[in-house]
Structure 1
């Protein structure tokens, strides 16, 4: 995402900043106005002193919008848990920022309210996943070593906390954007029949012996397991794209008028082709930069024509949902 300005001195401040690097004044992020504010302008989230949350508290609770969505936290008696929980909430705030920029609600028309539980493996195995609006995150995913072990074990080219959040939120929005949004027929045409037994499909996926697959049909191997997982993986990549393009907007680059228009707000860009036209060279560039530093590719994926079509459907479903709700609000 792009950087923000300190309200005291005007210096650029990162999204996670709790203090200005220039004037050292304490800062908070206001998700309602999408701006940094001084601590005297609003109430601090009570988690500021515990996990370094730098968001303003909402009017009805002592928590910020992001922290208030967390229903269950790991034991804070364990200092390692607190450290990992801090990382989880950092990633979640970026997710909530994405949703605010896309103008998507945190409750569905079907009555599901978005909520999170962050659990540790201390008392038994924890599976990261989504069910009826509740997203469960395994605290171990915030441990770089444990996450890398799982990434290699599951043959994944990419595994991050933010990626988990963006994937699981895709499951949450499937009902509102696809089923209730009138996109069920095109979804089945592009992604497949979601009525296929989900648990059986996942069991078959993990029981595979042959892991070779046609990379031109899905964005990732896991996307091949079931149409719902294909949607969630694709939804996550759409968020990767618009968020990274938003970061590009703040760089001192020479761009043509059309590119500048897209970067004015990638989250609300109506032309999907314009998004991908900017994304393709950017993905290539960041991968080359990483290789120059001896790092793995930042975006180790190829967007094939089939995947492009799936991303386009995600974009269409989000845009249609937003347009419907904004039209109702205007009336």
Structure 2
């Protein structure tokens, strides 16, 4: 995630709808992938794009799109769930932005607390969609033409009714709105013996299931996927039942990023996909802020990512450099959170097989870089 400079010279951030320093209205334009300042004296008039504090390195991202300057207005959900995305000024005032349109079912706002939960859900979802937009996988200018769009249902478990389970099915990502409650999410994390559980993590994980269908199923990537992750035709329901009844197999950490990833190749892909997005977004944030430390970056052997007889390409070397930066960065972040008496922000270890899976996802997401 990048930071920006308002026209007044002060920093503004992706979620801002106003510059705290000068009071200008600002919002995110998904068409150009830029933050823009609006002159409220003449409602909806585009003033100018904000200066981007560009990362010096990090994961691949596309340059902002060049678009014809036009008038803008805020999404109709600005005051409903805090959406700061922009739409053309000639759109109906009740129109929603491309991000809000993806929410097919909003929480029942007659239920206490659901307004705040909805805001938290949409905030996390917009961060996911920004990253996918930046990599050309969703939204305006997407390089993909999926047959099924990605949409979201935000549902609540009610007394006397079946519990709402977070999951994905044929393009529909369902989230239990109570995951927005810190106490409920922490309780579930402890019960499931998970080291990490967050709203954004849910969105990233479930989007992985969606993009498996879009990018891997029936594609030339499928054979390599099976070599790395396993045979996805194994009975999924049985695999999950075994995982919940028996727990992960001994030594799961040698080949998987998390214990849950060991339950089935689809879950391994989704967990690894989520971690690729964690890495991409966090590295970009750190680089945008010019975050540096004196923690030594480990040397990642590029040969780990190459098969027998394969040569080490510049893409392999670049990926290893990013991983080295990632390890040093997360070491620093974990030390900082420990200093505050908080759990590690990134309680994971990337083994050699996991790095191969992350590099596979890197190549799938950006096939134009593959020789």
> TM range, normalised to the smaller chain?
0.7 to 0.9
Partner of 1:191: 229
Of 313, 316, 319 in structure 1, the residue corresponding to residue 360 of structure 2 is 313
Consecutive unaligned residues in structure 2, runs of 5 or more: 39-43, 47-71, 298-313
More divergent stretch after superposition (310-319 vs 223-232)? 310-319
Greater Cα offset, 138-147 or 100-109: 100-109
Report deviation, 1:323: 6.2
Match of 2:79 in 1: 49
Worse-matched range after superposition: 70-79 or 135-144:
70-79
Q: How many residues are aligned here?
A: 310
**CA distance 1:217–1:32, shift in 2 (3 Å):** same
In the TM superposition, 1:76-225 aligns within 5 A as 76-105=109-138, 109=145, 111-122=147-158, 123-208=161-246, 212-225=250-263
Contact 1:29–1:54 (8 Å) recurs in 2:
yes
CA distance in 1, matches of 2:12, 2:112: 28
The alpha carbon displacement at 1:156 in A equals 0.3
Q: CA deviation at 1:254?
A: 6.3
- Aligned-pair distance for 1:78? 2.5
Residues in 2 aligned to 1:210 and 1:310: alpha-carbon distance in whole angstroms: 19
Q: Is the Cα contact below 8 Å between 2:252 and 2:262 reproduced in 1?
A: no
User: In structure 2, how many angstroms separate the alpha carbons of the residues matched to 1:77 and 1:38?
Assistant: 34
Q: Distance in 1 between matches of 2:162 and 2:247?
A: 28
Name the structure where helix makes up a greater proportion of residues. 1
Distance 1:240 1:254, change over 3 A: closer
Mapped contact 2:273–2:361 kept (Cα < 8 A): yes
Which residue in the other structure is 1:238 paired with? Answer: 276
Q: Give unmatched runs, 5+ long, in structure 1.
A: 260-268, 325-331
Q: CA deviation digits over 1:246-287, x for unaligned, max 9?
A: 0111224569xxx9xxxxxxxxx9532222121111111111
SS in 2 for 1:57: strand
Q: What is the CA-CA distance between 1:30 and the residue it aligns to?
A: 1.0
Deviation readout 1:219-270 (Å, 9 max, x if unpaired): 0011011000000000000000010000111224569xxx9xxxxxxxxx95
TM-score by length of 2: 0.79
Match of 1:301 among 334, 343, 348: 348
| C-alpha distance in 2 between matches for 1:293 and 1:323 | 41
Q: TM-score, normalised by structure 1?
A: 0.88
Equivalents in 1 of 2:343, 2:23: separation in Å? 35
